[in-house]
Amino acid sequence: MKKVSKEFADMPSLELAQLLSQAALDKKAENLVILDVKDISSFTDYFVIMSGRSTRHVQGLAEAVDSALSQKRIKDGNTEGLQEGLWVLLDYDDVVVHIFYKDVRDFYDLEGLWHDAPRIEVIEEGK
């Protein structure tokens, strides 16, 4: 397990969601949404859902998000689906990231399944 730097050890989960959202937006993630599921889910606080234009773009987004968190030594996450690049799941406990190839996202419709979850405004750096 990585040692978490003291500065980031107690980072609130919403701040973590915003941080990784920014990393994804820097790599041109499309239709990024943050869902607050903490009151309706027992396993995480936030979902961050985004799309990529191709399987390679999906893989690149996943690598960028994971790299941004690794550079800050925040936490190790579990990753699923990276090789296929159709639906990559990055699990950071309090924040779960779903990166979809755009057609696959429409099929699974996570936003529809979690329609009760409030959407959180994504705060973009420099805006």
C-alpha span between 29 and 36 (Å, rounded) = 19
5-60 per-position pLDDT tens digit: 455 556 788 998 999 999 999 999 999 999 999 999 999 999 999 999 999 999 99
The answer to whether 97 and 48 are in contact (CB under 8 A) is yes
For residue 123, give both structure tokens.
Answer: 């705060």
pLDDT band at 3 (very low <50, low <70, confident <90, very high): very low
What's the pLDDT score for residue 9? Answer: 55
- Which segments within 43-115 are labelled E, that is strand? 46-52, 78-80, 87-91, 95-101
Here the tokens at position 6 are: 């003291």
The CATH code for residues 12-120 is 3.30.460.10
- CB neighbours of 19 closer than 8 A, spacing ≥ 6? 11, 68, 69, 72, 74
| Span 69-98, pLDDT tens digits | 776 655 566 788 888 899 999 988 889 999
Q: Where are the domains of the chain?
A: 12-120
pLDDT at 73: 56
Taking residues 97-105, report their average pLDDT.
Answer: 94
Residue matched to tokens 């943050």 = 34
pTM, rounded to two decimals:
0.86
